[in-house]
Amino acid sequence: MATHLKTPVVHTPTSMVRWVFRRDGFAITCEVYAYDTQSYEVAFIPHWDPSAATIERFNRPLRALERHASIARRLRDDGWVLVDHAIPNYVGTAA
């Protein structure tokens, strides 16, 4: 009798949107990752101190994108300038 072992599934995150802001020689990245159709993360990473990065988890893409927009708005209001952005070829759930 053959024994079948289940291999754990490793979910590699997919970047949905990534914006990089600069001010006074400093940079911050704000990125939204999708792990599957019910797990999303917003990462806020100050480049001068990556250990100070924060990650917030959401179970809906709209909530994660709204949080990203809120952070971006706050950064712009505080004088940060968007210097780079990427919207990868994110493929969501099939229609």
Nearest to 57 by CA among 91, 87, 34, 86: 34
Say if CB 36 and CB 18 are below 8 A apart.
no
What is this structure's pTM?
A: 0.77
What tens digit of pLDDT does each residue of 41-78 get?
Answer: 999 999 999 999 999 999 999 999 999 999 999 999 99
Q: Is residue 44 part of a domain?
A: yes
pLDDT tens digits, 28-41: 999 999 987 789 99
In a domain, 26, yes or no: yes
Range of the domain at 20: 14-86
Count of domains observed in the chain: 1
